[in-house]
Amino acid sequence: MTQVLHKFRHERVKLAMKEGEGYVIPMGPTSLVAVVTDHGVVGNDLLDTEMLENFDFAAAKIAPTEGDVIESLEDLMEGEVKAANLHAVQRHVEVGMSALEALNRL
């Protein structure tokens, strides 16, 4: 069976001192939305921050500031950190900060 990934989205995200790689990956009725930098990642509820902790990779979950879910990179960038693994905390990522500020620390 062939699956069409026409809704898969990738784009570069400009940050203060570098760029991140933004992804929207459809998964059933929802999508994994994330931005990856050289030192970590922020993403919606589908991002497994604990698993990434096991790989020594900084990760933070982002909560929407409007609406119930994050469905796009725009939603993600407008959100705020609701959880961060130890490696993200060591990079000064804090609950409540904006996704953009967290990405700039990763």
Within-domain flag for 4: no
Q: What is the mean pLDDT of the chain?
A: 93
pLDDT-derived band at 1, boundaries 50, 70, 90:
very low
Both structure tokens of 4? 């069409």
In DSSP terms, which residues pair with 13 in a beta bridge? 20
Within-domain flag for 1: no
Within-domain flag for 75: yes
Q: What is the pLDDT of residues 66-95, one digit of tens each?
A: 889 999 999 999 999 999 999 999 999 999
What 3-state DSSP class applies to 70?
A: coil
Q: Which domain holds residue 83?
A: 9-105
The distance in angstroms from the start CA to the end CA of the chain is 38
Within-domain flag for 2: no
Q: Is the pLDDT of residue 21 over 90?
A: yes
Within-domain flag for 56: yes
Q: Is the pLDDT of residue 28 over 70?
A: yes
In DSSP terms, which residues pair with 41 in a beta bridge? 36, 59
Looking up residue 20, the CATH number of its domain turns out to be 3.30.1980.10
Total domains, the chain:
1
pLDDT of res. 3: 53
